[in-house]
Structure 1
Amino acid sequence: MNWLSSLPLQLVLVFGTVGISFIGGCQFGQHRIEAKWGAERSAQAIDAARQSQRVVDTNLRQDQINQEISNEFRKQQAALASIRPVVCDGRIGLRINPDGEDSPVPEVPGATASAAPTRSDTLPAPQGDAGAVSCEQLSKDAAQTTLMLVEIQRWLQKQDAVEP
């Protein structure tokens, strides 16, 4: 009978020990989970910062490329403005390097030997523009357009080089 009288005390001690162990395990587990969550949040913040920095670096590089292309285009446009059309063998061409030196402007092909045949469905030019466009103006416009296309191609090549 002696052991029956101490049974409730033993049960209280066993359940108390189990309860304290359970609460301690919960506390320990909670601290581990919070530490993992903190590490995960830190890793996400670092990844976000790296991605933001990559975007900023890419934008800066693209702005730099745009500025370089714009500066070079302005320089070549100024050189193009000094070029005079030349009539040679009945054809209109451009004098790229009048002094025989290398020109900063890319070579522009001369005019073709003959004009393309007229189309049967041509549209009449507006009366206000008919006399305003001369061969000299067309030659300058063609050279300007060629220069723009060359610069656009260079810009695209540089942009492709920046993209990973």
Structure 2
Amino acid sequence: MALGPLLFGASSTLLNADHYGVYFKGMPVWNGKVLRRHGDVFERTSRGYYRAHGRADDTMNLGGVKVSSVEIEKVCNAVDESILETAAVGVPPPGGGPDKLVIAVVFKDPQGSKGNLNSLKVSFNSALQKKLNPLFKVSHIVALPSLPRTATNKVMRRSLRQQFSQIGSKL
């Protein structure tokens, strides 16, 4: 999907990135103006309507099943009262193959929660398999003091994916 280049509320610059490269490079021209790339995935239904599927970089393919990070996080956040928030990221393994599901966890009390990551992994797997898909499996849990966020408070899963890919052989 593309948007008209002059959109109220759209950014005009990016910090630490090429604004033109991210939003306009390679996009078609309409009415003499280059269209702006949109970051969400949309599906056109057989009746001609459009259905929004969320951020393009916030979906992953786990064992042939496309799933939204938000769906996984909703289940994981409810597993234990000690969890403040989670971020689900699909990390490609170093040698190729299906993505590994890595969950970044922020605990309400970071001091007392790091010892239970193995039991938390078992709980996450059980909940995900019961509530979403029996094939889903958490490969690794990473405890963080906070999740990386944009200026508008959106979780930067792309940043987490990059970080976890660099330590991929340990996952």
The verdict on a shared fold, with TM-score over 0.5 as the criterion, is no
Q: What is the TM-score when the length of structure 2 is the normalising length?
A: 0.18
Bigger fraction of residues in helix: 1
Q: What is the TM-score when the length of structure 1 is the normalising length?
A: 0.19
Which of structures 1 and 2 has the larger relative contact order (alpha carbons within 8 angstroms, sep 6+)?
Answer: 1
